[in-house]
Every structure is written in C-alpha cells, then in structure tokens.
Amino acid sequence: MELLITALIVGLVIYGLERNKPHQVTRPHLYGSTDIQDRDQERTSTDLLGRA
C-alpha cells in the first residue's frame, strides 16, 4: 500500500513539473519596432563628453 501511494505521489509530481515546463515558441516575440532612437544612450554619451 505504501508503494502505491509513493508511486502516485511521484507520478503527480512528475505530471505537475511537465505541465508547468515552458513550451518552445514557434514564432519569435517582437516587442515593438527596432528603429527608434535610444535617448538614454544619447544622454549618457553627451554627459560623458561634457565631463571630458
């Protein structure tokens, strides 16, 4: 009886872990466009040039 309960618990744990595993996405995630200017980089480089 203990073996049956242990096997059931192990099976449920394995099922839960497999169910929560992230699946491979077939299409890439595109979060907006990439042709925008990075104002933080411009501001940082301007600040560094001002200190020099």
The tens digit of pLDDT for each residue in 20-45 reads 776 665 666 666 666 677 788 888 88
Compute and round to an integer the Cα radius of gyration of the chain. 26
How much is the pLDDT for 40?
86
Question: What is the rounded average pLDDT for all residues in the chain?
Answer: 80
**pTM given for the model:** 0.42
DSSP H helical segments within 1-52, as ranges? 2-20, 39-51
